[in-house]
Amino acid sequence: METHLKNSVLAKRLDSAQISKLPPAVQRPSYDRDAVSPGIVHIGLGAFCRAHLAVYTDDVLENGAKDWGIVGVDTMSPAIRNALKPQDCFYTLLARDDGEDKLRVIGSMLDVMITSDQRREIFDLLIDPKIRIVTLTVTEKGYCQDAATGSLDEKHLAIIADLANPTTPNSIPGFLTEAIRLRRQAGQPAFTVLVCDNLAQNGTKVRDIVARFATLRDAELGRFILDNVSFPCTMVDRITPATQDADRAIVAADLGVEDAWPVVTEPFRQWVIEDRFPLGRPDWEKVGAIMVDDVHPFEMMKLRCLNGAHSMLAYLSVVAGIEAISDAMADADLPKIIRLLWDEDLIPSLPVVPGTNVEAYTRELETRFQNKGVRHLTLQISSDGSQKLPPRLLEAARELYAAGTEPKVIPLTIAAWMRFLSGRNERGQDYKIADPYAERLATLAANAGDDPELLADSLFAVRDIFGEDLPANQHFRTAVIGHLSSLMAQGTAKTLKTFLAGNKGPASTNTNIR
């Protein structure tokens, strides 16, 4: 990033002084930003939150709200602070739709802080009564959960370290617990914790994880969290690939000034939120969010149909050497496979989603996946499979078996993930496996060599991922090993053609199983 800025011919950087000078086609804040005070602290400053939560909140500020600005907190590195602070925390949203670009400068992020050297300042801010909501996008692995059970992984090294030094925490459970303790000690009512990550029943799950950590630290504090802190569940949806230098160049050319870290996204966005905010909230429903009593049906639809399909496309594509989701959707067979996944496995596993035609939702997903303007890299999507596959696909498989039917495409996806763990695609190119269990999984794959049955059995033995039931299910085990054998011996293209030849005919007419 620093090299990109240094080599640029543009002398000026996006900041408050440049906002009024931007080209007329660029949307920018019309509200008085100096009059806005923070009401939200957001933890985890990846691209997604800046393309989603911050945009909805920017819309609320445009409608006249003045007390719902966002202070961003990052727990990973100072890179995002170094990029945004010189820009007065303004950044550009680049919405791309097959060649049509729309630029918007977002102003809802008022400040950026980093836990590595500002932990005490952050805790002081979290004690302030004007902060009423803490939002999070830290990915599934950020909550230190056991992937198979969804509960706190009490053997996680970060959890062990934080329990030994609870006032200087580094994990998300430890950080939230200490913030809640300090706020309670200061006599302030508890803030609402709003989780915006792709976890089933994300609010409930994170509440239980945080309360368990707190209980291990202080049983009374654990009870306080369960009784007094609201953790609404949410469903978030907007495809947001990692920003590339080419994106920065496009933004700089259109703005006439540098933006060190713009965000690239699709036009579509959706946010469904359980309406449980004891200290109040922004009027997000006035700018497109859906406030509900129960988010579960919506999150299941998105988690399985979008995220589950993304996982399937990612593993098959990385192994085949396909770089982006839009490229995968141009393949002769992958779109047919994803349609089967939806029709045969995922739609039948869903509860009724109020006011929603789920098949129409998946048809819209096809169009979104085909968007060449959003180059969503399959290797990026492939990360953290040990954490993502259980809620996205393995739970659906369990429910289908429990209902007396069998998943058809999920075993192929699991086989593709197992093949993916070799770290080399069919073109002989190596790639890095990004996963909390990466070293363990790569070692199992290497030790299994070219033996698909040994590889499958070694991975099935990782109970943190598969539990006890699925490895003991003979149909599931046989199906996975059969697909894995084909992928290893014949490659992806032939495996898909063989699979499709055995699954001809109209899509299943199964109704939802719940």
Reading the block at residue 418, the tokens are: 């197992």
Q: Closest by alpha carbon to 275, among 194, 339, 204?
A: 194
- 2-291 adopts what CATH topology? Rossmann fold (3.40.50)
Residue ranges, the chain, pLDDT below 50? 1-8, 505-514
Tell me which DSSP letter residue 19 carries.
G
Asked if 206 and 195 count as a contact pair (C-beta separation under 8 A), the reply is yes
At 123, list the tokens. Answer: 């805790």
CB 142 within 8 A of CB 197: yes
DSSP one-letter code for 510: P
> Terminus-to-terminus CA distance in the chain, angstroms?
49
Query: Where are the domains positioned within the chain?
Result: 2-291, 296-501
For residue 178, the model assigns a pLDDT of 98
Task: Report pLDDT for 150.
Answer: 87
147, two tokens: 């992937």
- The DSSP letter of residue 430 is B
Q: What is the pLDDT of residue 3?
A: 38
Q: Which two tokens stand for residue 391?
A: 């809620």
pTM as predicted: 0.85
What phi and psi values does residue 491 have, to the nearest 5 degrees?
A: 90, 170
Task: Decide: 414 and 389 in contact? Cβ < 8 Å.
Answer: yes
Per-residue pLDDT tens digits for 452-490: 999 999 999 999 999 999 999 999 999 999 999 999 999
Q: What is the pLDDT of residue 1?
A: 39
d(CA 131, CA 73): 13
DSSP character for 145?
A: B
Q: Assign domain 296-501 one CATH number from 1.10.1040.10, 3.40.50.280, 3.30.70.3040, 3.30.70.2860.
A: 1.10.1040.10
Q: Say what angle helices 410-420 and 309-320 make with each other, to 10 degrees.
A: 40
